[in-house]
Copies of this chain bind each other. A is one copy, B any other.
Amino acid sequence: MNIATDTRSRIIAAAKPRFHSRSYANVGIQEICESAGVQKGSFYHFFPSKRDLVMAVIDEFADEWAHGFVAEAFDPALPPMERIDYLVDAAYFWQKSIKQVHGRMLGCIFGNLTLEVSTQDDILRAKLLAIFSRAKSRFKDTLEEAVAAGTIAPLDADLTAEAMLAYLEGVILLAKSQNDPEVIYRLGPAIKTLRVEAAA
């Protein structure tokens, strides 16, 4: 059982950096199998299809973030609006360190995959949508807490949360187009100026 799990996770480990640094269509099963030291027949024993593999990869990235930077950023001990700063900083430092190692800014794999596959595969789109949905909730809770604490003026927390998430993805997109994480550093802090007023 352990060895089996090991094969499966070796496949995922080989797939993760490849889907992140290239694209869904550009990474082949064969390449992943070679890198993981696994036979193709063995691959299809664990994953019914390429789509199932990328879904597992999405889950791994999501867990990694949820238990890493996101948990740190949305620490209830921090003043609410500082959590948002923290998250933007985390995105910046992460992309920066990736560039130092890899030579390129890879951006957000959820955003990358969304724009690539969401017109072609509704199941993947739904998976990615769920990820964004959770992220939005984090922002929303934080904004509501900030409003309750009087840190910021009342607003539409739901829409502002979505706007902030959109902005973060957009900033990472522009940074990737320049292959320069410093874009995140320069533009990121403006996320807190975004506001959608509460409906009357």
Contact = CB atoms under 8 A, between A and B. Distances in A.
Nearest to A193: B195
A174 interface: yes
A196 to B, nearest CB: 5
Interface size class of A (residues with CB under 8 A): 35 or more
Interface in A152-177: 159-160, 162-163, 165-171, 173-174, 176-177
Contacts of A9: none
A67 interface: no
A118 interface: yes
A20 to B, nearest CB: 9
A177 B104 contact: no
B116 A104 contact: no
Contacts of A187: 159, 162-163, 166, 196
A51 interface: no
Given A107-B115, A166-B173, A169-B174, A190 B194 contact: yes
In the complex this chain forms, how many copies of it are found? Answer: 2
Contact of A116 (B23, B129, B132): B23
A25 interface: yes
Contacts of A173: 111, 114-115, 166, 169-170, 173
A26 interface: yes
A97 interface: no
Contacts of A120: 22-23, 26
Contacts of A105: 119
Contact of A159 (B26, B104, B162, B186): B186
